[in-house]
Amino acid sequence: MNEILLVQAQNAHNPPRFFIQFSPYNNTQSSSQCFINYPENSQNYYVYTAAVGKRPNKNPKQFFFAGEWINGSSRPFIGVATYNLTNHLSDSPNSCANSFSYSIQYLDNYDHQEYYVIGVEPKGLLAYGFSNAFVTIFDSQNVSTLESWNSSLTWSNSSFIPRAVEISDNFGIIAGFVQNDSKERVKYSPIIYLLNFNSSNRRPIIVDKYIATATPGTWQDLLTYSTANIYSAKNSMSISINSRSDVLVGMPFINRVFLLSVNISDPRKLTYRSRNTGGRSLGNGKSVAWLDDGNLAAILVNTYSLMYQWSSSQIFFYDMVSTTYNSNSTPLSVFPNYHQLVPDSFSSVFLNIISSPTSLTLMDDMGNLLIFNPTPPGYFPSITNTGSVPLITSEEACLPGMYKDQYGINDCILCPTGTKNPGNSSIKCMLCANESFCSLGSVDEIPKSALENIVQVIAYPKSPESTIFEEILIGNMFNIKEGHCVVVSPLFWALIVAAIDVLILIVIAVLHFCVHHQKASRVKKKIQYIFKRTDLIGEGEMWLGGLASLSLVVMVCFACSFSNMFYHQYPFETSSGSYFDCEQLIRNAKFETGLQSLAIPRTHTEKPMFDLLDEQNLMLHVDFINTLVMCDSISLRGLFGTTWSTIRWSTCENVRSILYLSIPLPFQLISVEIILDDIQIIGALRIGLSGPSYEEELYNLKQFNAFQSFSKNGDILAQTLNVGLSLTKVINETVPMKGEESNYTGIYIFTPKTKSDNLYVSNDQYIQSTAMETVLKIEIDETPFFEKD
């Protein structure tokens, strides 16, 4: 494939033929494509490979092909097919077949080759053929001759078996296996050769090599490659070179893709840069390709078990300029994904990818083709099953919460955490306010209050150390510390009054000893008279007693006030804060709490409270936060026994990118499944339960209103969610001080029993998802115990 044409060999067709798609690759009209039968309409040709130059002249339009003549004895061949017209194809169905001519050369001195690969130099005029037995040069401008020689004259190790080759302007890369000593455990070793070309005769010369050794102790280290000399798709390799002389080599049998480089001005050194290893499986690097002038790498990853059982196929696109390529690299995008699905007419087993400088073609194991065309910033290649051959992508605007700021075939990417894209811009994401919630892939900035947790049940305070009121009163009267304790301390204010008494004594002393005047004597006597009237100690006989009585009055007033406020601290549930106490923790109650089994029979006084809790009608509330999902994409199911049946919501609305959903529960303990048939991103989740209050004589059912949010910075909500909620009854019995019946209050609390990490996915995980819907399953059960207070 290049910017002029795409060629596919179809050996299985009867008769065998080539499919040719001319550029531009944005349409599949019959005037832009055709089929031509193999030479002589013969079924005796088996084509191994077809190749074109990456940067050819517009004329001649041609492609090379190589394979074997399989009638009787096998003979390798190499050929070129040249398009003889300079103008575009006509609408005539026969014009294509009649406009191509073949030139073929046979290698009569050689028989069947397990591996036979060809590489075409970028201008598309010269093709090199490589096998274990021979090397050839086929010049399309001199098709009457074929230059060939024994491969031992080229390979430094004559056992070399080529698997893949790519030719650049002034060097080539070829990869394959070399045989080791028969006594060694490892029979063959994978190797990569750097080729230069003799300036006089254009013959390839090996100037450097890289041996792909396994890391000791890994599963790759156990491989022996005993069947490397026999054709097997398991031992395939792939190579791609970009314009900067960066080299990708895929070796799926060890699950690795190597990134190498060559100095373009002096191409005699092959430099290892990094590698990407896909874990304990096979298939990473089944095929590799460069795009966007070498800025983007496409890696076909076919995941196989170590027994070579296929499980999945994906294409990973990597930004090779902005990020480092290694085993920890995060792909820019992955195909297929939730909005780029494999068409129904296309197999899920991918076989090969090839690229032109801008486009990429994918072939499945049935020979179907899918061409990815580049799209401008703000758009991604959308795939629709149009029935065309081949399938061709079209541009579609990025989804809200995503953006794309460059031209290419890669998908849009999620807006980073702290940014948003509500859908009115597909090229960039906008910054969110610091105090808002903007998760990965946000469509709006959400106030953090939308994630508020509501917990109704609080722990009882610590019981007083003493239940004797006199001890509590005395402890409060003579307690003096700092801060709030000073303000409420009776002793502090009594000392203040005592200090005032001392000042009055000083005044009286001054009037008595220092001021000898009749008026001063009258003032002194009047003060003494007043304080004799306030004397509580000497029963009105001592004015000094009156001064001391002021402090006593302060202490008594504080004692009365404390006693009254302490009395109203019962019952605890309806009392206000004990601000009159130094520690503000004192309560007029003795607390006890514990867990009891629900299997224990209830007393006749407790049973009504349990009945009220069991009969409380519950409402399930689910908030999908930071999403554009609408109510018309929601369906609900409830599990009734063993059957899932449709249920309905009472309210549903999306307000400022929060989808509020309220569902009346047919009974308390139930499993509910919420299906969102939409591919929109969801940033976070908030689940709540509510129920009405009810009061009946001595029994008070509290209003139930509790919420729990689920969010994780840097991640988004997964598309398969399982949340468990456990309800626990909390029964409070308030025993009266004397002679009355106990009062009961009851309320539910719920506890999430799901590991929250299982609810989120990272950017790397999300871009690989192919789910077209989000499914939330909420299972509500009850703990086998209750809390008795």
> How would residue 542 be classed by pLDDT, with cut points 50, 70 and 90?
low
CATH no. for 5-291+323-355: 2.120.10
Contact (Cβ atoms closer than 8 angstroms) between residue 72 and residue 41: no
Contact (Cβ atoms closer than 8 angstroms) between residue 402 and residue 441: yes
Is 767 a residue whose pLDDT tops 70?
A: yes
> How would residue 91 be classed by pLDDT, with cut points 50, 70 and 90?
very low
Q: How many CA atoms lie within 13 A of 653 on its CB side?
A: 4
CA atoms of 526 and 504, how far apart (whole Å):
12
pLDDT the model gives residue 281 = 75
Is 147 a residue whose pLDDT tops 70?
A: yes
CA atoms of 151 and 133, how far apart (whole Å):
5
Is 557 a residue whose pLDDT tops 90?
A: no
- Answer left, alpha or beta for residue 762, where phi above 0 means left and psi between -120 and 50 means alpha: beta
pLDDT the model gives residue 175 = 97
What is the secondary structure of 429-495 as a DSSP string? -EEPPTTEE--TTBSS-EEGGGG--B----PPPPPPS---HHHHHHHHHT---STHHHHT-HHHHHH
List, for residues 49-83, the tens digit of each pLDDT value.
999 999 888 778 899 999 999 887 789 999 999 98
Query: What value, to the nearest 5°, has the Cα angle with vertex 298 and ends 23 and 414?
Result: 105
pLDDT the model gives residue 499 = 74
Is 546 a residue whose pLDDT tops 80?
A: no
CA atoms of 364 and 349, how far apart (whole Å):
6
> How would residue 519 be classed by pLDDT, with cut points 50, 70 and 90?
confident
Contact (Cβ atoms closer than 8 angstroms) between residue 413 and residue 333: yes
CB atoms within 10 A of CB 431: 11
Helices vs. strands in the chain: H and E counts, helices first: 8, 52
Contact (Cβ atoms closer than 8 angstroms) between residue 89 and residue 27: no
Token output for 137: 């040069």
List, for residues 257-306, the tens digit of each pLDDT value.
999 999 999 999 999 999 998 777 788 999 999 998 889 999 999 988 87
Token output for 516: 């000898």
Is 469 a residue whose pLDDT tops 70?
A: no
Measuring CA to CA, which residue among 647, 652, 670 is closest to residue 662?
A: 652
Could you write out the three-class secondary structure of 401-429? CEECCCCECCCCEECCCCEECCCCCCCCC
List, for residues 424-461, the tens digit of each pLDDT value.
778 999 999 988 999 999 999 999 999 999 988 766 66
Q: What are phi and psi of 738, to 5 degrees?
A: -165, 140
Could you write out the three-class secondary structure of 534-548? CCCCCCCCCHHHHHH
CA atoms of 767 and 149, how far apart (whole Å):
49
Percent of the chain with pLDDT over 90: 56
Q: Is 626 helix (H, G, I), strand (E, B) or coil?
A: coil
List CB contacts of 707: < 8 A, sequence separation 6 or more.
452, 453, 454, 621, 686, 687, 688
User: Domain boundaries in the chain?
Assistant: 5-291+323-355, 469-574, 593-788
Contact (Cβ atoms closer than 8 angstroms) between residue 344 and residue 279: no
Token output for 734: 């308030």
Contact (Cβ atoms closer than 8 angstroms) between residue 505 and residue 527: no
Q: How many CA atoms lie within 13 A of 11 on its CB side?
A: 13
CA atoms of 706 and 769, how far apart (whole Å):
33
CA atoms of 155 and 205, how far apart (whole Å):
8
* Parallel/antiparallel/unpaired status of strands 282-291 and 126-131: unpaired
> How would residue 490 be classed by pLDDT, with cut points 50, 70 and 90?
confident
pLDDT the model gives residue 511 = 66
- Answer left, alpha or beta for residue 162, where phi above 0 means left and psi between -120 and 50 means alpha: beta
Gyration radius of the chain over CA positions: 43
Measuring CA to CA, which residue among 72, 79, 89 is closest to residue 27?
A: 89
Mean pLDDT over 480-502 rounds to 69
Query: What value, to the nearest 5°, has the Cα angle with vertex 587 and ends 585 and 592?
Result: 105
pLDDT the model gives residue 581 = 67
Measuring CA to CA, which residue among 89, 329, 306 is closest to residue 218?
A: 306
List CB contacts of 323: < 8 A, sequence separation 6 or more.
329, 330
- Sign of torsion, CA 567 568 571 575? negative
Token output for 610: 């349990």
CA atoms of 563 and 569, how far apart (whole Å):
10
CA atoms of 738 and 572, how far apart (whole Å):
16
List, for residues 189-238, the tens digit of each pLDDT value.
999 999 999 988 899 999 999 999 888 888 888 889 999 999 888 899 99
List CB contacts of 738: < 8 A, sequence separation 6 or more.
none
Identify each DSSP E strand in 112-245 by its residue range: 116-120, 126-131, 134-139, 147-150, 161-167, 172-179, 188-197, 204-211, 238-241
pLDDT the model gives residue 507 = 72
Q: What is the mean pLDDT of the chain?
A: 86
List, for residues 375-393, the tens digit of each pLDDT value.
999 999 998 877 778 899 9
Q: Decide which of 89 and 16 is more confident.
A: 16
Q: What length is written for the chain?
A: 789
pLDDT the model gives residue 520 = 66
Q: Decide which of 466 and 127 is more confident.
A: 127
Token output for 676: 């969102």
What is the secondary structure of 309-355 as a DSSP string? -EEEEEEEEEETTTS--STTPPPSEEESBTTBPPPTTS-SSEEEEEE
Is 553 a residue whose pLDDT tops 60?
A: yes
Is 99 a residue whose pLDDT tops 70?
A: yes
Contact (Cβ atoms closer than 8 angstroms) between residue 203 and residue 154: yes
Is 524 a residue whose pLDDT tops 80?
A: no
CA atoms of 504 and 494, how far apart (whole Å):
15
List, for residues 15-31, the tens digit of each pLDDT value.
999 999 988 888 766 66
Mean pLDDT over 35-42 rounds to 86
Q: How many CA atoms lie within 13 A of 295 on its CB side?
A: 9
Is 688 a residue whose pLDDT tops 90?
A: yes
Is 784 a residue whose pLDDT tops 70?
A: yes
Token output for 774: 């989000």
Is 607 a residue whose pLDDT tops 70?
A: yes
Buried b (16+ CB within 10 A) or exposed e, 616-651: bebbbbbbbbbbbbeeeebebbbeeeeeeeebebee
